[in-house]
Amino acid sequence: MTPQHHRTGTGTGAGTGRRAIARLGLPLIPLPATTAKILTAGGALLTLLSTFLPWTWTRAFPGNLTVTGYPGGLQILTLTGAALTLAQVLATAGPTGLPGLRWLNPSGRHTAALLLAAGTLATTWYSLIAIAARLGGLVNLEPGGYLAGAAALTTLTGALALPHTPARPLPPARALPAWAEIAVIAAVFGLALHVLTYGIGTAYGELFTGFLLLTGFTTAALFADGLGARLTALTHRHRRVTLTAALVTAVLFPLTQDTDEYTLIIVNILIFATVALGLNVVVGLAGLLDLGYVAFLGVGAYTAALVSGSTASTLHIHFPFWAAVLTGAAASLVFGVVIGAPTLRLRGDYLAIVTLGFGEIFRITVGNLNGESGPSLTNGPNGIPNIPDLVILGYDFGAKHSLGSLTLTPFANYYLLMLFFTALVVLVFSRAGNSRIGRAWVAIREDETAATAMGINGFRLKLIAFALGATLAGLAGTVQAHVAYTVVPEQYVFAGPVPPNSAFLLAAVILGGMGTITGPLLGAALLYLIPAKLQFLQDYQLLAFGLALILLMRFRPEGIIPNRRRQLEFHEASTDPGPGADGNGNGNGNGNGLTKAEA
């Protein structure tokens, strides 16, 4: 037997510089290193200054880009991108480097500067194209707009000429006192809350699109320069502090909002993200393709609507909320077992077709239980309206409450409640995934025949996964019923223009990263927020899903935040774990690049 040979790699979270450039499809430009740095820094500075000049002459384009000396709207995004690019160039070693900024670029490479320059160019040129498209031509651009476009292109040209050295291990981080590291973690979460609040609060589609462009490139640059790996190591060292900071940040979000408009969006994101985590148990851990999963959400929602005292309920009973939650979760659990027991002996496409049929059967059934086509239970197509607001221990979720100078609006109340349920589901998922049952699910997902040969009862464990996923969906459905105040059959379809639907949930799991916790949360947030902010996408939602899946299969088949095992499977010849490996954002690994066969 010949010994296995392991390739050694460094894995700084970005791969080699040339591979990163190849992924962008950008050519290398031969220039002296000093000239390239001066060109990049000068272009970034000019781009920054151009935001203080008017880009158009009329206020017809939103954001008021007509003021001299005061950036507004999309100009703020270009200003931010140019400032970050300039800081990255000045943070690297060499004639243009500033020692005080070296902490911004621990790797000492220029890949982050290239990514930021590309993001600044994309955001700036998108802004200029949007102005021309909305106002009727490039004639509506002022000299400041032309200067911004030319300066952003100059910045990218200089960044392409920067020397891109191969990746190497990050140098040891400078030791900081414990209080300083905790302060850094608090500052990072505070910055994340500010960015989230800004992105959700964008007033028009062009600004939100520019925000997505710049945020995407900035996130990639964060891990390319090694700063992301440093922050990940810091959070691992202070795990309890990190969890506390994350919880405090999440709790503070509704206090940053003046109205319920964006708080409602986040409530719905939490609902769908929780359901996506439940589907991740079935698809991501156990490897069971369920195309009718939204039906379990509907079972929980309808059950809660029937027992929560709605005037339209045919049962005429009013359970307290805790009892309604348990009833909805139990009903979904029963349906999961009843549907799973006769069908889970199937595999692959056959199982997918059966679950798709179950989802359609549920929608048609609740539409017929109107007293004419069937028993009088769900009011048929009219659904169950007038679901009352929750009252828990005398606390009315439908009323405003004052906490000193702070005010909690009704949807802020539901946001905090849904945040509790999301944390509960995350805890259940993490415990289940790390348990013996979770490891057995992964074994079944990888090779059910081999798992059975090792003594694993595949049918029983798949039924447990199906039942657990259904229970988590029913749990979220009980809250959704009270947030929406009504449930109707059209809410629970396989595919439709408005989430939730099974296609939306499955896309959230696949795009975010199967088998991880943060992957489905991020996937659900993006897939709900983008159509909500870009109204024109609602008519082309399935087309957008398809394009996103095609691009993901081409460039990142393991998902945005992948599981480490799946990343090694998809990139058997790569030593680059990338950002978010293992679902934690830690892309450093141990420096060993294993092939698929070796893994």
DSSP string, 53-97: S-SBS-TTSTT-TT-TT---THHHHHHHHHHHHHHHHHHSSSTT-
Q: What is the pLDDT of residue 116?
A: 93
Q: Is 370 helix (H, G, I), strand (E, B) or coil?
A: strand
**DSSP-assigned letter for residue 390:** P
Burial class (CB in 10 A: 0-12, 13-18, 19+), 100: exposed
Q: What is the pLDDT of residue 526?
A: 86
Q: Is 584 helix (H, G, I), strand (E, B) or coil?
A: coil
Q: What is the pLDDT of residue 44?
A: 94
- pLDDT block averages, 10 residues each, the chain of length 599: 38 43 53 84 94 92 90 93 91 60 75 92 95 90 94 93 74 80 91 90 89 92 84 88 91 82 87 90 87 90 89 84 90 91 83 88 88 80 86 82 79 89 89 88 87 87 91 91 87 75 85 85 86 74 75 79 69 48 40 35
Q: What is the pLDDT of residue 571?
A: 61
Domains and CATH numbers, the chain: 17-250 (no CATH), 260-527 (1.10.3470), 562-599 (no CATH)
Q: Identify any residues that bridge with 592 across adjacent strands, giving them in sequence order.
A: 8
Q: What is the pLDDT of residue 570?
A: 62
Q: What is the pLDDT of residue 579?
A: 44
Dihedral angle over CA of 492, 498, 503, 506, nearest 10? -100
pTM greater than the 0.85 cutoff? no
Q: How many Å apart are CA 293 and CA 340, to the nearest integer?
A: 12
Longest dimension (CA), the chain: 82
CB atoms within 10 A of CB 93: 11
Q: What is the pLDDT of residue 501?
A: 80
Q: What is the pLDDT of residue 559?
A: 79
CB of 458 within 8 A of CB of 286?
Answer: no
- Residue 5 has φ and ψ, to the nearest 5°, of -110, 125
Single out the residue of 492, 530, 484, 537 nearest to residue 264, CA to CA: 484
Q: What is the pLDDT of residue 588?
A: 40
CB atoms within 10 A of CB 392: 12
Q: What is the pLDDT of residue 127?
A: 94
Q: How many Å apart are CA 231 and CA 240, to the nearest integer?
A: 15
Q: What is the pLDDT of residue 54?
A: 94
Q: What is the pLDDT of residue 299?
A: 92
Which contiguous run of DSSP H or E holds residue 7? strand 7-8
CB of 310 within 8 A of CB of 543?
Answer: no
Residue 133 Cα distances to 137, 221, 535, angstroms: 6, 30, 17
Q: How many Å apart are CA 555 and CA 444, to the nearest integer?
A: 27
Task: Report how far Cα 513 is from the mean position of its chain's Cα atoms.
Answer: 10
